[in-house]
């Protein structure tokens, strides 16, 4: 389905408006067109919104004199790129949730770096975000409500019926822990670089551990979820 598909009359979001695990949960029914992994990443535009601001920051920072560079110019241009994506969606009357979230993250990170006069603080919000997600996913497994199962159950409009099946609970716990591992890996690499203030290395690792790491984790999650519901 196209990204600007209309919202159904019953008020529910169309599948094209959902991304991440929610899109994968819907796709397990096999009734929705388009590749589920592409939808889960927000389509081509969603991928560009995720990658380009960070890529622009890295390129401008490197060209302007790596490893010292001009972080403030790089920050300004990365925010401008994110703002352009938001404006593009508004002009085309497409869902703007993902674009606005990205703009707030990029803009907030740049503002924090400028306010503190420490370029490495541009990556601080991302570090805390990964820590927050990782902790939330881990706690959800510990208390018996793995977030992957919660999201998939919501997407499939099955609520929490999956919790009645021990096999489903175990599978969803395992997939959730896989996401915990992804967040933990990012923290393990980025936190030491942040502590020494290596802005260039932070920019490189954020890109390398962003979409290139997210895609295989998302793909494996999709394969596991699809297999789980094909067993029925």
What is residue 82's predicted lDDT score, i.e. its pLDDT? 86
In 64-96, alpha helices (H): 71-91
In the chain, alpha helices (H): 20-27, 36-40, 43-63, 71-91, 97-116, 124-142, 147-155, 166-196, 199-208, 211-230
What is residue 7's predicted lDDT score, i.e. its pLDDT? 35
Q: Is 132 left (phi over 0), alpha (psi -120 to 50) or beta?
A: alpha
- Domain boundaries of the chain, sorted by first residue: 15-230
For the chain, the residue count is 232
- The DSSP secondary structure of 124-151, one letter per residue, reads HHHHHHHHHHHHHHHHHHHTT--HHHHH
The pTM (predicted TM-score) of the whole model is: 0.79
What is residue 200's predicted lDDT score, i.e. its pLDDT? 86
What is residue 9's predicted lDDT score, i.e. its pLDDT? 36
What distance lies between CA 155 and its chain's CA centroid?
17
Low-confidence ranges of the chain (pLDDT < 50): 1-16, 30-33
What is residue 36's predicted lDDT score, i.e. its pLDDT? 66
Read off the tokens for 151. 């999201």
Q: What does the pLDDT look like over 105-150, one tens digit per residue?
A: 888 888 888 888 888 899 999 999 999 999 999 999 999 999 999 9
**Cα distance between residue 183 and residue 42, in whole Å:** 20
Q: Taking the CB of residue 213, how many other CB atoms lie within 10 A of it?
A: 14
């Amino acid at each position: 389905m196209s990204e600007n598909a209309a919202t159904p009359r019953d008020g529910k979001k169309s599948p094209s408006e959902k991304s991440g695990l929610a899109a994968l949960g819907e796709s397990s029914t096999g009734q929705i067109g388009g590749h589920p992994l592409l939808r889960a990443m927000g389509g081509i535009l969603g991928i560009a919104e995720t990658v380009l601001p960070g890529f622009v920051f890295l390129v401008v920072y490197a060209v302007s004199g790596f490893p010292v560079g001009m972080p403030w110019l790089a920050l300004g241009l990365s925010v401008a790129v994110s703002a352009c994506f938001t404006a593009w969606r508004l002009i085309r009357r497409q869902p703007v949730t993902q674009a606005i979230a990205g703009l707030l993250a990029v803009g907030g990170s740049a503002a924090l770096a400028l306010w503190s006069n420490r370029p490495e603080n541009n990556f601080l919000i991302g570090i805390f975000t990964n820590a927050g997600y990782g902790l939330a996913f881990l706690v959800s497994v510990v208390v018996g409500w793995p977030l992957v199962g919660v999201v998939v159950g919501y997407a499939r409009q099955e609520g929490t019926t999956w919790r009645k099946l021990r096999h489903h609970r175990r599978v969803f716990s395992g997939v959730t822990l896989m996401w915990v591992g992804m967040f933990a890996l990012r923290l393990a690499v980025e936190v030491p670089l942040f502590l020494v203030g290596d802005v260039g290395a932070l920019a490189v690792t954020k890109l390398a551990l962003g979409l290139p790491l997210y895609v295989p984790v998302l793909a494996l999650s999709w394969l596991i979820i699809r297999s789980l519901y094909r067993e029925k």
